[in-house]
Structure 1
Amino acid sequence: MRLSIFLLLVTLALCCYHANALVCPSIISEVTNFLFGTSTTERLQLQSFGIPEEIILSKLELKKCTDQIPLEKRELIMSTLEQHE
C-alpha cells in the first residue's frame, strides 16, 4: 500500500510539474462583478446561469455584507486573482 502511494506521488510529480494556478477568466469576471458591481448586475449574472431564486436571494444578501468592505480591501481581494505571467 505504501509503495503504491509513493509511486503515485512520484508519477504525479513527474507528469504534472508544469501545472499552473491561472484563474479562469469567467471566474475573474464573476468575482469582479460580485465585489464591485451592483445588486442588479449580480442578479442578472446569476439568472443567466439558471440558478434558483432562493439561492440568488441568498447571494444578494451576502453581497450586502461584502459591499460594506472598504474599497481598498476589495481591491486587495481582487488582486489575488490577477494573473501573473
Structure 2
Amino acid sequence: MKLLVSLLLVTLAICCYQAEAVVCPAFIKESTLFLFSPESLLRLSLAKYNAPQEAVDAKVEVKKCTDEMPFTDRTIIAKILTKVTVKCGL
C-alpha cells in the first residue's frame, strides 16, 4: 500500500504541477513496464538512460516487491495512472 501511495503522489506531482504540464511519454511507458513486465525487460529499458548500476538495481529491487502484488492490484494502479494522465490532458 505504501508503494501505491508513493507512486500516485509522484504521478500527480509530475502531471498536475501546472495547468499546461505534460507527462513525458517515457514516464508512462516506464510505469507500465514497472508494473507488468518481467525484470529483464525493465533492465533493458533502463539501460538507455545510462543510469548507475546501483540505481538500476534499486529500482529492480522495488519491482520485486511490486511483482508480489496480485495482478488485479497492479491493474488498479495502472487504471488510476491512466485516469491521472487523462485528467492532466494527455
Could you tell me the TM-score, scaled by structure 1's length? 0.69
Partner Cα separation in structure 2 for residue 50 and residue 44 of structure 1: 11
Cα shift at 1:24: 3.2
Look up the match of 2:57: 57
- Alignment length (residue pairs): 68
Look up the match of 1:47: 47
User: Could you say what secondary structure the match of 2:26 adopts?
Assistant: helix
Amino acid at match of 2:77: I
Gaps of 5+ in 2: 1-17
C-alpha RMSD of the superposition = 1.9
Q: Looking at CA atoms only, which structure, 1 or 2, has the larger radius of gyration?
A: 1
Partner Cα separation in structure 1 for residue 48 and residue 62 of structure 2: 19
1:1-85 correspondence to structure 2 within 5 Å: 19=19, 23-82=23-82, 83=86
Partner Cα separation in structure 1 for residue 37 and residue 64 of structure 2: 11
Cα shift at 1:80: 1.4
Contact 1:33 1:41 in 2 (8 A): yes
Amino acid at match of 1:45: S
Cα shift at 1:64: 0.6
Change (3 A) 1:67 1:37: same
Q: Per chain length, whose mean CA-contact separation is higher, i.e. which structure has more relative contact order (CA < 8 Å, sep 6+)?
A: 2
Identity of aligned residues (%): 40
